[in-house]
Structure 1
Amino acid sequence: MTDAALTIPEQRVLGCLLEKELSTPDAYPLTLNALVNACNQLTNRDPVLALDEAAVLEALEGLKDRQAAWLVGGAGSRVPKYAQRLAEARNLSVQECAILAELLLRGPQTPGELRARCARMYPFPDLAEVEAVLALMLEAEAPLVARLPRQPGTKETRFGHLLGDPLPAEAPAPPQPRGRLEEEVAVLRAELAALRAEFEAFRRQFE
Structure 2
Amino acid sequence: MCPRSFTSTSELLSPEPALVEPNAGNSHSLRANRLLQHAIPPPMLPVVDLDPEQVRVLGCLVEKQLTTPQQYPLTLNALVSACNQSSNRDPVVSFSEEAVERAVTGAKARGLARFVHPSHGRSALRYRHELAEVLGLDERQLALLGVLMLRGPQTPGELRSRTERMARLDGLGEVEAELSALAGREEPLVRRLPRSPGQKEDRYAHCLGSAIRHVEDSAPDEVRQRDVPSQSPVPAPSSPAPGAWSEELAELRHEVARLRRDLDELRSQLGA
| TM-score interval for Structure 1 and Structure 2 normalised by the shorter chain | 0.7 to 0.9
Q: Distance in 2 between matches of 1:91 and 1:123?
A: 18
Matches within 5 A, 1:1-207: 2=9, 3-76=47-120, 77-164=122-209, 165=211, 166-170=214-218, 172=221, 185=233, 188-189=234-235, 192-193=237-238
Q: How many residues align?
A: 185
Q: Distance in 2 between matches of 1:59 and 1:29?
A: 16
Q: Distance in 2 between matches of 1:45 and 1:170?
A: 25
Q: Distance in 2 between matches of 1:116 and 1:56?
A: 28
CA contact (8 A) 2:193 2:216 kept: no
CA contact (8 A) 2:50 2:208 kept: yes
CA contact (8 A) 1:115 1:123 kept: no
Question: 1:167 is matched by which residue type in structure 2?
Answer: V
Shift in Å, 1:4: 4.4
Shift in Å, 1:90: 1.3
Q: Distance in 2 between matches of 1:140 and 1:12?
A: 23
Q: Any runs of at least 4 consecutive aligned residues in structure 1 with deviations exceeding 3 A, and if so which?
A: 168-173
Q: Distance in 1 between matches of 2:89 and 2:168?
A: 19
Shift in Å, 1:168: 4.0
Shift in Å, 1:74: 4.9
Q: Deviations over 1:87-143 (max 9, x none)?
A: 111110000110000000000001000000111211322111111111110112221
Unaligned 5+ runs, structure 2 = 1-5, 10-46, 223-231, 256-272
> Which has the higher mean CA deviation after the structures are superposed, 22-31 or 135-144?
135-144
CA contact (8 A) 1:47 1:106 kept: yes
Structural RMSD (CA): 2.3
Q: Distance in 2 between matches of 1:106 and 1:162?
A: 13
With the length of structure 2 as denominator, give the TM-score of the two structures: 0.63
Question: 1:22 is matched by which residue type in structure 2?
Answer: L
CA contact (8 A) 2:118 2:124 kept: no
Q: Distance in 1 between matches of 2:142 and 2:51?
A: 19
Q: What SS does structure 1 have at the residue aligned with 2:164? A: helix
Q: What SS does structure 2 have at the residue aligned with 1:120? A: coil
Q: Distance in 2 between matches of 1:61 and 1:74?
A: 17
Over the matched positions of the two proteins, sequence identity in percent amounts to 48
Question: 2:84 is matched by which residue type in structure 1?
Answer: N
Q: Distance in 2 between matches of 1:95 and 1:123?
A: 7
Change (3 A) 1:169 1:139: closer
With the length of structure 1 as denominator, give the TM-score of the two structures: 0.81
Unaligned 5+ runs, structure 1 = 174-183
Q: What SS does structure 1 have at the residue aligned with 2:128? A: strand
Q: Distance in 2 between matches of 1:80 and 1:47?
A: 27
